[in-house]
Structure 1
Amino acid sequence: MNYTTLKKTDLKVSEIGLGTNAVGGHNLFQNLNEADGIDLVRAALNNGVNFIDTADIYGLGRSEELVGEVLKEFKREDFVVATKGAQNFTNLDDVKTDNRPEYLRDAVEKSLKRLQLDYVDLYYLHFPDNETPFAESIGELARLKEEGKIRAIGISNVSLDQLKEANAHGDISVLQSPYNMLDRSAEADLLPYCVGNNISFIPYGPLAFGLLGGGFTKDSKLDSQDWRNSVPLFEGEQFQRTLEIVEKLKEVAIQKETSLPNLALAWLLAQEGVDAVIPGGKKKERILENIQASDIILSKEDLNRIHDILNKN
């Protein structure tokens, strides 16, 4: 496993992290097995992955609780944990985005309790509420950082203008945003801004929410309750075109003697500005495979071939 240090921090993280929205994320996925989720997190930490990513909205706190149960088995210096807040689920019948300072402070305290920690290494403003000025929300996170409750500030799901506003005083260390072989929109402005302003870019959905796992066929259908039904890549003709791209990428993976998911992760790590990736999963076998991506070296020829496949479709 290769390791890197997140920008503006002393947080040394594994290039391959672990996303845990399917660990207790019962509001996102159907029929999750919590024992499998616990085994997944434990297997990651036992095999060189030290960067664990969760959020309070995953399972309305349940993901943090399960992750926390595993983290207490390890020394504090052996892991870097990131969580996120901004979804006010105090009233379960009316979950809404909330960036108010008083809410964020309360959310951080609740996350710490669920994770059974004294501090969180990286705390993200998960979504902007488009009402609270970033000077107030990021300002409150900066105060929490000064108090030692969080060690670094991140932000997610923002436009370039919002990122610039949030980073007005250089407080943002990490941006988490969609980016993968099938969705390269971040290359237009977000990724270049991060490179130019010393911000680590960490893609979410690095495997295109399963499409780059290689298991979908033209007849595949998501469960009606699956949140991915709202992702354009899974819709109609675009889904069919995406599967054609995936088949060509599989050929590259075979030639590199690796899997499609690992090719997709290695490709992201080869992009300037991307410091780590956080693939998710439901069972430990997935992370045991993904960690091998850290050792894949893509040549200029490999990258050019992948570029041609992605650009011709």
Structure 2
Amino acid sequence: MPAVDVILGTAGFGEHGRITTPALARDFLDTFTAAGHYVVDTAYVYPGGFQGESEAFLGILDVASRGIQIDTKVRSFENHAHTAESIKQSVEIQFKRLRVDKVRTLYLHCPDRCTPYSDTHRAMNDLYLAGKFERFGLSNFKASEVEIFVKMAQENGWIKPTVYQGIYNMFSRLNEQELFPVLHQHKINFFAFSPLAVGFFSNVRRGQEPPAGSRFDPNTRQGQRSRERYFKDSFFDAVERIDAVSQKYNVSNNSIALRWLKHHSQLADGDAIIIGASKIQQVKENLTSLSEGELPEEILNVINEIWDDIKNDAPAYAR
């Protein structure tokens, strides 16, 4: 069994997120650490639309003093966001929010193709030499772009990317074909986000409009993006097939998804699964599922058959 870690995603932390007070965020962290896990994932832009609130909550709670390690992502999603000066300013702001001098992993959240990658990589290396982070991460980059960073590291003696964070779940597996071989070749760990497809496996059914404020609310930016990824006839068909086999074995769709990811996917030693939740009970349920064993063969067969049917509709692994 691969040694796959579990990380708590804190994109929902913030006054305008789903976990709206530091006190409630503390309860989530207490539940998570009580299960023996000590890494949280955040970013400059979390929660979506109200950047900085997630990092600020973690700073208020002084998580570093509790032995909790922090992975975060620099300001991205804008042209020229990854110039040396922009990255430096981003990190200064972020560390002030987090109330830390150093984080475990510092990611480029997505490609900035308007800035030469050599300039971006040099800036990250300078921050690494200054002791600002331990691991250099990439997120939402294409496999060919990962290889560019690896080559620059080899040629210039710069820090090499050793973590890649990307979407990965039963319905999002395109990275297995192109990205994973590159990561394995260069010994880069993969951290999987959206293991439950933002609730699609459990909270959405054909013909039922999701409630306002949900992650599939068409009036929100996140809802529109989630619907674009998952609201497809082939995906609704697939969920109905998962429903049938889950009922037969008396196991939830979410448990199937998490156990598949931990035990039967292409995750390997040193990789991780990032779980997020809006209720503490969901954290407990997800941790329980991840502590359970392999799935029955019949369920695995259904998952693989589904993938063959939906792969042409699967969302891209990179931006």
TM-score when scaled to structure 2? Answer: 0.81
Q: Distance in 1 between matches of 2:14 and 2:2?
A: 27
The one of 107, 128, 135 equivalent to 1:124 is 107
TM-score when scaled to structure 1? Answer: 0.82
1:267 aligns to what? 260
- Which stretch shifts more, 298-307 or 172-181? 298-307
1:282 aligns to what? 278
Answer whether contact 1:122 1:153 (CA < 8 A) is retained.
yes
CA separation of 1:73/1:136 partners in 2, compared to 1, >3 Å: closer, same or farther?
closer
Q: CA deviation at 1:292?
A: 1.6
Q: Deviations over 1:89-145 (max 9, x none)?
A: xxxxxx656001111122112211111112100010011110212222122212212
Q: CA deviation at 1:300?
A: 7.9
Q: Does 1:173 align with 2:157?
A: no
Q: CA deviation at 1:32?
A: 5.6
Q: CA deviation at 1:278?
A: 0.5
The one of 289, 294, 297 equivalent to 1:293 is 289
Opposite residue 45 of structure 1, the aligned amino acid is T
1:202 aligns to what? 191
The one of 11, 18, 26 equivalent to 1:21 is 11
Number of residue pairs the alignment of both structures matches: 288
Q: Distance in 1 between matches of 2:43 and 2:32?
A: 18
Q: Report sequence identity in percent.
A: 26
Opposite residue 296 of structure 1, the aligned amino acid is E
CA separation of 1:254/1:173 partners in 2, compared to 1, >3 Å: closer, same or farther?
farther
Q: Deviations over 1:228-276 (max 9, x none)?
A: 31232343xx1x4322212322344455554322221222223234511
Q: Deviations over 1:38-68 (max 9, x none)?
A: 4323321232221210001113111001122
CA RMSD of aligned residues (A): 2.6
- Which stretch shifts more, 147-156 or 288-297? 288-297
Opposite residue 146 of structure 2, the aligned amino acid is L
CA separation of 1:87/1:309 partners in 2, compared to 1, >3 Å: closer, same or farther?
closer
1:64 aligns to what? 55
CA separation of 1:226/1:284 partners in 2, compared to 1, >3 Å: closer, same or farther?
farther
1:312 aligns to what? 309
CA separation of 1:288/1:32 partners in 2, compared to 1, >3 Å: closer, same or farther?
closer
Q: What are the equivalent positions in structure 2 for 1:101-180 lying under 5 Å apart?
A: 101-168=84-151, 169=153, 171-180=160-169
Answer whether contact 1:206 1:264 (CA < 8 A) is retained.
yes
Answer whether contact 2:73 2:106 (CA < 8 A) is retained.
yes
Long gaps (5+) in structure 2: 155-159, 211-215, 311-319
Opposite residue 16 of structure 1, the aligned amino acid is V
Q: CA deviation at 1:159?
A: 1.0
